[in-house]
């Protein structure tokens, strides 16, 4: 299994006639994802990449039966497009854009909740269930099917991290880009719950950074008696205090925001945490080996490790 | 962006919040130009915290005292910042200092109200403030906040004033795109009234497209920045100088930080955080190289990009052109991976440029070059 998206998900792309929408529609299709329609408020083309273009989400849903949407529009109008999709009955909303005012992020999240939908974003590459479907623009070759659930605050870091995991034979159920902004459509706590409830996800990998509280949420999950093993990579040790590091939320303001404070909290909670991307694969392997049945019975470990490692 | 106290108080006043009635003075001589009852408070106007503890607030009983306090404060530095002005206000006879803050919080799914009956400079040492998770501003309910505050604020008159004020602050945060509105101290005076004796307001830079005053503050702030940072901002690049020698051109905040950390682990020091992901165009990368080529402390430039939406064949072609046009002879190390990265090798073929397969080997080469340059 995977969470949120799989082969049955049917996507529309809002803003499909823009450069990013066009590129992503083709890329998602090449991955085998069902992109069944596009939306453009001022459609000059009737189709893009062979995908029919509709003037609004409601008509796109009526004609195609879409239940998910990836929204590629500028920040200034993003809230309106997300609300339109939510009210048209779309149940999974992916808004990858960055530079979204936090007030609009609050409203987006509220609109999703009111309409019983889930919002991924803002400021994320989206999410991918390897081998099944992708909703966003992450480079496909970095992923392979497997049993790790991955949660990331950073797009670029998730590519590098998953490329390393995949190269080491450690595949993924679903990789969720929760994004680097202070208000997220899916919070770390919610992403953890989704992966916790997924029977195929055997261990969870969290890719975090300085600033914000997300890493403490991960630590409190890992302290639960029924928690799945967790590995974490936390970046930003070299970042100075009081300077925003690109992401709106990556700012060391208080002591709790610092790299050492986060590492300590995670390690104390039993998370296999590292501050070095080089050590990520080793940390994830350590987490896998801590699955109770893995200790007693080495055999099932095979399903998690690559043929090369099985010897 | 963090506003100065004066800017913050203007915003509060517009929202109907009582603030002390002061004025801004840019020099010691102008401090006494307007008449105020003495004693007065003379306060450094800087966009950074812990000003009071650093000696940036003084009480002056006479005009001469106010001038000398202003002279001393205007010569001070707070972090990297020199105050452009002092705020002169009547000295308040405070009977109690309270703490009230509205900020944005994931757990609240929006705004959260924080309140402590004892505020002031040592707020962080006392009991943590109580919190009321509001969510979207329209969800503010006075009775819910009352439930939270009731046990710690027995003075019913103060409590009701705080609740009314909290609603104004939540509405202001929403309407004026504020990420944080902190009043510490919120001063209770002899007559029982509450006055915002300080203001720490952070506005949302992303809202500049619809808030002309935020756009103007961004332009003003960039004028105060050093020239390279102002140029980077104007070119949609995110630049933070660090004190090392490995210049880093990268894409994406997380990957940039991971690379900085790896440079540290490898025994080098990053010279900067320079994220080009908002402008991955020929003009953007040309500007990035120009900034680092002109910085004498940068001994080597590491281009480390793992692109998703940024297509790496395009980046490689831009790099190839830039390397041919560039005059500087600073060594450049590449590690390009991501969408269409398979084509990088053929684009670099015959140019003498090499693309490292792993981040580790690219970082190792960069650090080795920087060290060698350091020994010379």
Residues A159 and A258 in one domain: yes
Q: Which residues sit opposite A144 in a β-bridge?
A: none
> A86-129: per-residue pLDDT in tens?
999 999 999 999 999 999 999 999 999 999 999 999 999 999 99
Point out the residue among A183, A210, A240 whose CB comes nearest to the CB of B242: A240
Query: Among A120, A155, A185, which residue terminates a domain?
Result: A120
3-class DSSP state of A307? helix
Q: Is residue A213 part of a domain?
A: yes
Give CA–CA dist B45/B118, Å, rounded. 24
Active site residue A247: yes
Residues A66 and A106 in one domain: yes
What is the domain range of residue A91? 10-120
Q: Is residue A4 part of a domain?
A: no
In the predicted model, is pLDDT for residue B224 greater than 90? no
Pick the closest to residue A122 from B375, B106, B8, B294 (CA basis): B106
Residues A208 and A291 in one domain: yes
Residues A111 and A221 in one domain: no
Q: Is residue A179 part of a domain?
A: yes
Test mutation, A103, A232, A250, A259, chain B, max B CBs within 10 A: A103
Summarize the confidence of residues A162-184 as an average pLDDT.
Answer: 96
Q: Does A125 touch chain B (CB under 8 A)?
A: yes
Walk me through the domains of chain B, giving residue ranges and CATH numbers.
1-20+93-224 (3.30.470.20), 21-91 (3.30.1490.20), 226-375 (3.40.50.261)
Residues A162 and A300 in one domain: yes
Contacts with A152 from chain B: Cβ below 8 Å: 254
In the predicted model, is pLDDT for residue A302 greater than 50? no
Give CA–CA dist A134/A131, Å, rounded. 9
pLDDT band at A310 (very low <50, low <70, confident <90, very high): very low
Instruction: Please give the structure tokens belonging to residue B332.
Output: 């450049």
pLDDT band at B319 (very low <50, low <70, confident <90, very high): very high
Summarize the confidence of residues B173-196 as an average pLDDT.
Answer: 96
> B71-90: per-residue pLDDT in tens?
999 999 987 788 999 999 99
pLDDT band at A306 (very low <50, low <70, confident <90, very high): very low
Residues A158 and A103 in one domain: no
Q: What is the mean pLDDT of chain B?
A: 93
8 A C-beta contact, residue A33 and residue A9: yes
Confidence (pLDDT) at B35: 85
A·B CB contacts under 8 A: 170
Confidence (pLDDT) at A239: 85
Residues A101 and A80 in one domain: yes
Query: Quick count: other Cβ atoms within 10 Å of Cβ B215?
Result: 14
Confidence (pLDDT) at B127: 86
How far is the alpha carbon of A130 from chain B, nearest alpha carbon, in Å? 16
Residues A291 and A251 in one domain: yes
pLDDT band at B102 (very low <50, low <70, confident <90, very high): very high
CB contact under 8 A, A246 and B256: yes
pLDDT band at A293 (very low <50, low <70, confident <90, very high): low
> B258-268: per-residue pLDDT in tens?
999 999 999 99
Give CA–CA dist A181/B7, Å, rounded. 25
For B317, counting Cβ atoms within 10 Å of its Cβ (0-12 exposed, 13-18 middle, 19+ buried), the class is middle
Q: Is residue A98 part of a domain?
A: yes
Confidence (pLDDT) at B374: 81
Point out the residue among B104, B275, B306 whose CB comes nearest to the CB of A159: B306
Residues A162 and A254 in one domain: yes
Query: Among A72, A89, A120, which residue terminates a domain?
Result: A120
In the predicted model, is pLDDT for residue B361 greater than 90? yes
Q: Could you write out the DSSP letters of every residue in B62-99? A: SHHHHHHHHHHHHT--BTTBPPS-EEEEEPP-EEEEEE
Counting the structural domains of chain A, the total is: 2
> B13-58: per-residue pLDDT in tens?
999 999 988 999 999 999 988 888 999 999 999 887 678 778 899 9
Pick the closest to residue B186 from B231, B219, B153, B227 (CA basis): B153
> A175-210: per-residue pLDDT in tens?
999 998 999 999 999 999 999 999 999 999 999 999
Confidence (pLDDT) at A308: 47
Pick the closest to residue B51 from B184, B204, B245 (CA basis): B184
pLDDT band at B226 (very low <50, low <70, confident <90, very high): confident
Query: Among A63, A96, A120, which residue terminates a domain?
Result: A120
pLDDT band at A298 (very low <50, low <70, confident <90, very high): very low
> A24-38: per-residue pLDDT in tens?
999 999 999 999 999
Residues A234 and A258 in one domain: yes
Confidence (pLDDT) at B54: 81
CB contact under 8 A, B106 and A212: yes
Q: What is the ipTM of this complex?
A: 0.92
Residues A207 and A111 in one domain: no
Q: Is residue A5 part of a domain?
A: no
Q: Does A262 touch chain B (CB under 8 A)?
A: no
8 A C-beta contact, residue A119 and residue A135: no
Q: In what order do the strands lie in the sheet with B238-241?
A: B238-241, B272-275, B246-250, B300-307, B332-338
8 A C-beta contact, residue A35 and residue A13: yes
Instruction: Please give the structure tokens belonging to residue B331.
Output: 């060594």
CB contact under 8 A, A246 and B136: no
**CATH number for position A162:** 3.40.50.261
DSSP state of A244: B
């Amino acid at each position: 299994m995977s969470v949120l998206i799989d082969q049955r998900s049917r996507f529309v792309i809002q803003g499909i006639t823009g450069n990013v929408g066009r590129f992503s529609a083709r890329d998602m299709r090449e991955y085998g994802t069902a992109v069944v329609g596009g939306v453009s408020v001022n459609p000059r083309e009737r189709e893009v990449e062979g995908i029919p273009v509709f003037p609004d989400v409601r008509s796109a849903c009526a004609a195609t039966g879409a239940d998910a949407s990836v929204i590629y529009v500028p920040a200034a109008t993003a809230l309106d497009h997300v609300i339109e999709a939510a009210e048209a009955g779309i149940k999974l909303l992916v808004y990858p854009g960055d530079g979204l005012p936090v007030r609009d992020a609050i409203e987006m999240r509220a609109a999703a909740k009111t309409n019983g939908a889930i919002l991924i974003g803002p400021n994320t590459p989206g999410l991918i269930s390897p081998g099944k479907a992708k909703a966003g623009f992450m480079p496909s070759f970095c992923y392979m099917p497997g049993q790790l659930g991955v949660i990331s605050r950073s797009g670029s870091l998730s590519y590098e991290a998953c490329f390393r995991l995949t190269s080491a034979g450690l595949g993924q159920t679903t990789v969720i880009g929760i994004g680097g902004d202070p208000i997220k459509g899916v919070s770390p706590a919610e992403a953890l719950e989704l992966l916790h409830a997924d029977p195929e996800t055997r261990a969870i990998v969290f890719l975090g950074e300085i600033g914000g509280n997300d890493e403490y949420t991960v630590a409190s999950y890992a302290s639960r008696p029924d928690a799945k093993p967790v590995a974490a990579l936390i970046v930003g040790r070299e970042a100075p205090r009081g300077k925003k590091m690109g992401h709106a939320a990556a700012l060391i303001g208080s002591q709790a925001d610092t790299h050492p404070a986060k590492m300590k909290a995670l390690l104390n909670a039993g998370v296999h945490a590292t501050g070095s991307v080089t050590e990520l694969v080793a940390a994830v392997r350590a987490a896998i080996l801590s699955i109770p049945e893995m200790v007693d019975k080495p055999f099932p470990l095979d399903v998690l490790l690559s043929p090369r490692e099985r010897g | 962006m963090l506003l100065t106290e004066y800017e913050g108080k203007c915003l509060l006043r517009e929202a109907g919040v009582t603030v002390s009635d002061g004025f801004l003075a840019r020099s010691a001589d102008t401090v006494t130009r307007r008449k105020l009852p003495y004693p007065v408070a003379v306060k450094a106007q800087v966009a950074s915290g812990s000003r009071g503890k650093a000696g940036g607030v003084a009480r002056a009983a006479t005009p001469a005292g106010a001038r000398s306090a202003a002279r001393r404060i205007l010569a001070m530095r707070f972090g990297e910042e020199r105050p452009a002005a002092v705020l002169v206000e009547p000295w308040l006879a405070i009977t109690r200092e309270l703490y009230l803050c509205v900020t944005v919080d994931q757990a609240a799914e929006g705004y959260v109200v924080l309140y402590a009956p004892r505020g002031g400079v040592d707020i962080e040492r006392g009991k943590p403030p109580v919190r009321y998770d509001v969510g979207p501003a329209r969800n503010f309910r006075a009775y819910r906040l009352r439930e939270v505050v009731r046990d710690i604020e027995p003075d019913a008159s103060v409590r009701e004033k705080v609740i009314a004020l909290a609603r104004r602050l939540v509405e202001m945060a929403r309407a004026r795109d504020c990420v944080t509105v902190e009043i510490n101290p919120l001063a209770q005076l002899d007559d029982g009234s509450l006055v915002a004796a300080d203001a720490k307001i952070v506005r949302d830079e992303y809202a500049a497209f619809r808030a002309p005053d935020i756009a103007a503050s961004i332009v003003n702030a960039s004028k105060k920045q050093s020239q390279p940072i102002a140029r980077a901002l104007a070119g949609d690049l995110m630049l933070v100088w660090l004190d090392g020698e490995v210049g880093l051109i990268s894409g994406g905040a997380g990957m940039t930080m991971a690379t900085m950390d790896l440079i540290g682990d490898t025994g080098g020091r990053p010279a900067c955080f320079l994220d080009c992901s908002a402008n991955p165009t020929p003009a953007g990368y040309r500007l990035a190289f120009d900034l680092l080529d002109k910085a004498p402390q940068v001994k080597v430039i590491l281009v480390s990009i793992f692109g998703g939406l940024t297509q790496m064949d395009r980046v490689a072609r831009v790099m190839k052109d830039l390397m041919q046009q560039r005059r500087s002879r600073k060594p450049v190390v590449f590690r390009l991976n991501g969408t269409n990265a398979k084509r990088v090798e053929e684009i670099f073929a015959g140019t003498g440029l090499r693309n490292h397969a792993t981040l580790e080997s690219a970082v190792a080469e960069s650090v080795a070059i920087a060290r060698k340059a350091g020994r010379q």
